[in-house]
Structure 1
């Protein structure tokens, strides 16, 4: 897949939104009523980063498999590469979260874990936190990866079945799942997750990938109109401060899709700051590691003798550079080496089967 700077820029924006969203809850403690309302609003609006991530994911996955012939080899390659890309850092972050909860519980708000809960978390099975009952894994952020991995598995199954028009099959499957969820209203955490409206956000990305691959581009006036409509939809609607948002994919999915289309479907690629693109490269690390930096920064700042009104300023001044710096280090020193090693192992493991299947196909 040709690298698109617009995709990396969106990844950076999405990761930064999520980071600020969580930081808002951290600095909210002990603030005045008016300030608390502001931080709650920042937290609610910052969650929109996840919706952008899901649209981006749908687009990127379709781009990855474009031009590939459906079949067992393509399915195996696809899911294996996704595992290599996602699992190593997530497992390290999850185990680190468990260790921190046991050794330094002050760094975690929710530190109670059980072995079955940890194993379900590591293998992307949606489950409830034994302590709070919330539908989240050990590393709370991992709830989005449960959706991502489910999306990858469905793509692999579609490829395995040899369906040529993968994008149509995916849209049919995900729309059917959401419809079933609305009709049946399942109580199971697993079924509730796999039929939630948020999975439709992947399909927006799938559609845009198909449009771009078909040569669809829009001019600057249309781009600006799409961006304006998307930002307005984001700001004028949103998650309730309290309670579950079952229609998230139908309310925040379209604004995320409009913003995505405005950025990615233009006739020309914009010139983005190098730092923003670097953050986009490291967005997965930033997403998974920023909570560790956030809690450490919060504990340190809370022990400094200063006017409480200054604490949020000092907190953000330390937290943002530290979290971004750690994510870039993690990307360069952990993500990239593990991806290279994993793909090298995959090539050695899958090359012979791929050659054999190719030879058999040529002889028919």
Structure 2
């Protein structure tokens, strides 16, 4: 049809010249989550490496880093611009256009897997392929504890939580703007209560499908508050040094098996230091080279379970019969494969779908406008 342009490969560029550290952090956090979920196969060359397996789970706090970055980025783009129902509706439509196409596509993949397993009479992992949870997943409510366990594309619980934060964003931003001290005290008190075990088990940083939306709330609010106090953040001395120290603390903490109650606070500190470095425009050449890969964050996050299922489990383990060191090497190879698939998904599927659903007719290549449409995960 006239006027419809076919999708094509695009050159990755940073979404904004102003938030390069946050873009680089998002990419690194996405890779950390991949490591968490690939770790069984990554450690195949080291039988009995239960300690390493357990400690690598500490990298799962990268999701909490996403939530905090999200609160800041959404505030950076929209701030107090959502002053009418029409503006709020446009905001939500763009959020849906960004998140839902890939979510629905990955959900469809796991639905097909479940149907195949059921047709073969095999063990279809009833919890994961619980078709009574299909509608819940389709409308992004799986982070509300409505299913008995993780289901379909299990990582999408965080997208459910993220969408909930988007719905609540105008009220959260208004509360922080109108009552800054009260909001700061309230968020600090909430985190303290959660750290002290205010919620029944599981611990709040362990929550995913089981009310993971409660896990997203503190981090998202921290991001909003950091934006509203950005003038103070811009005065932090040597922000890059603090960022490096915080990243080192996270890596060391994971290596030593520090509890997630500590690691999540470090993740929030990393976010704050990254924001300060960006506000002071302290990005060096390495950060500038990594930042464009931040555009792949959401794709990597949503597609790596499929890469694990197809590339590692089916091809590597079942067809090729790999184990031990060979399986470890194969799993390492799955990392660039996942990134490549994510790039193709962004170019050929997600960007065209986003433009179609958002009703936009803008350029096909991402711009460097700091107020352009951005996304958090």
Q: TM-score, normalised by structure 2?
A: 0.73
Within the candidate set 292, 298, 309, 1:295 is matched to: 309
The answer to whether residue 88 in structure 2 is matched with residue 98 in structure 1 is: no
Change over 3 Å in CA distance of 1:90–1:192 after alignment to 2: closer
CA deviation profile, 1:241-288 (whole Å, cap 9, x unmatched) = 9xxx9xx5x633321122123233122222236763343111101100
Match runs of 1:156-167 below 5 Å: 156-157=170-171, 165=177
Change over 3 Å in CA distance of 1:300–1:215 after alignment to 2: closer
Within the candidate set 7, 12, 16, 2:31 is matched to: 16
Give the match's secondary structure for 1:200: helix
Distance, in Å, in 2 between the alignment partners of 1:307 and 1:158 is 49
Change over 3 Å in CA distance of 1:286–1:70 after alignment to 2: same
Give the match's secondary structure for 1:282: helix
Match runs of 1:298-337 below 5 Å: 298=312, 299-302=314-317, 303-304=319-320, 308-317=324-333, 319-337=334-352
1:24 CA drift (Å): 0.3
The answer to whether residue 100 in structure 2 is matched with residue 87 in structure 1 is: yes
1:156 CA drift (Å): 4.1
Change over 3 Å in CA distance of 1:177–1:192 after alignment to 2: farther
2:9 aligns with: none
Change over 3 Å in CA distance of 1:171–1:94 after alignment to 2: farther
1:360 aligns with: none
1:67 CA drift (Å): 4.9
Stretch of structure 1 that moved more, 308-317 or 136-145:
308-317
The answer for unaligned runs of 5 or more in structure 1 is 348-364
Alignment check: 8 A CA contact 2:303 2:342 kept? yes
Distance, in Å, in 1 between the alignment partners of 2:262 and 2:22 is 22
The answer to whether residue 58 in structure 2 is matched with residue 40 in structure 1 is: no
1:354 aligns with: none
Stretch of structure 1 that moved more, 49-58 or 15-24:
49-58
1:52 aligns with: 65
Instruction: State the number of aligned residues.
Output: 331
1:236 aligns with: 253
1:259 aligns with: 270
Distance, in Å, in 2 between the alignment partners of 1:148 and 1:116 is 22
Change over 3 Å in CA distance of 1:311–1:237 after alignment to 2: closer
Alignment check: 8 A CA contact 1:55 1:257 kept? yes
CA deviation profile, 1:185-204 (whole Å, cap 9, x unmatched) = 599x99944444x4211122
1:208 CA drift (Å): 2.2
CA deviation profile, 1:197-250 (whole Å, cap 9, x unmatched) = x42111222222223367724343x43134314532564369989xxx9xx5x6
Distance, in Å, in 1 between the alignment partners of 2:240 and 2:65 is 16
Alignment check: 8 A CA contact 1:8 1:280 kept? yes
1:12 CA drift (Å): 0.6
1:155 CA drift (Å): 1.1
The answer for unaligned runs of 5 or more in structure 2 is 1-14, 203-207, 363-377
Within the candidate set 124, 128, 133, 2:140 is matched to: 124
Alignment check: 8 A CA contact 1:154 1:170 kept? no
Change over 3 Å in CA distance of 1:217–1:100 after alignment to 2: farther
Q: TM-score, normalised by structure 1?
A: 0.75
Within the candidate set 295, 320, 340, 1:281 is matched to: 295
1:343 aligns with: 358
Alignment check: 8 A CA contact 2:40 2:53 kept? yes
1:142 CA drift (Å): 0.9
Select the structure that is richer in helix.
1
Within the candidate set 236, 240, 245, 1:218 is matched to: 236
Name which structure has the greater RCO, CA cutoff 8 Å, separation 6+: 2
2:165 aligns with: 151
Alignment check: 8 A CA contact 1:51 1:252 kept? no
Distance, in Å, in 2 between the alignment partners of 1:216 and 1:92 is 40
Give the match's secondary structure for 1:269: coil
1:332 CA drift (Å): 0.9
